[in-house]
A and B are shown apart, each in its own frame.
Chain A
Amino acid sequence: NAGVTQTPKFRILKIGQSMTLQCTQDMNHNYMYWYRQDPGMGLKLIYYSVGAGITDKGEVPNGYNVSRSTTEDFPLRLELAAPSQTSVYFCASSYLKGGPEPQHFGDGTRLSIL
């Protein structure tokens, strides 16, 4: 079972460059999420989506954009990369939002901005 798939796994960007982190899930989940993980800080929610065409900001949305054109895909875009965006990015999905429903995570994208 593929679950949640993220690409690329690693990437180095220069300051000011842009890129899109890809995320796709094959579980037909309506809810999808983007997190960033910084050392010793746990995970912080960047954006989430409750279904195709509907997205909303999380705790740390500045510098990022998302779109959700299909149930399966939820790409995260960095328009002007900054060193503060060096992090590990995780995409997750769930059948319901919150409550007893756990989230399913991809293996992450490790992004360095130099």
Chain B
Amino acid sequence: AQSVTQLDSHVSVSEGTPVLLRCNYSSSYSPSLFWYVQHPNKGLQLLLKYTSAATLVKGINGFEAEFKKSETSFHLTKPSAHMSDAAEYFCVVSALGAGSYHLTFGKGTKLSVIP
């Protein structure tokens, strides 16, 4: 069985300050991990993915995430928030179970950016 916990349902930051969105996972097998972003009335767009290569993963729009196996975490960061970063972010784990891959979505973190 696998699960994803996004530790904050809502994060608010000021423009130009760092962003930290937290994600913990559990998986019986070596997982692949993804962060997706969803802007209002839009679908989910891939930000970045971890697939057992480098533990520090760089994505689009200045976001990056670090895979920490010992802490079962995959937190998303950005050094300086921009107004256009206001959106909902989903952490997703994909792992092999019962002979097939299963995708599990976190419940999402809504990021607000204050001017």
Contact = CB atoms under 8 A, between A and B. Distances in A.
Interface of A: 4, 40-45, 90, 92, 97-100, 102-108, 110
Main secondary structure on B side of the interface with A: strand
Interface stretch (B37-45, B66-74, B78-86): B37-45
6 contacts: A92-B44, A97-B101, A98-B100, A99-B94, A100-B32, A108-B41
Q: Is the interface of A mostly helix, strand, loop or mixed?
A: loop
A109 B44 CA distance: 13
A42 B34 CA distance: 14
B47 to A, nearest CB: 10
A105 B52 CA distance: 24
B49 A103 contact: no
Contact of A42 (B41, B45, B49, B105): B105
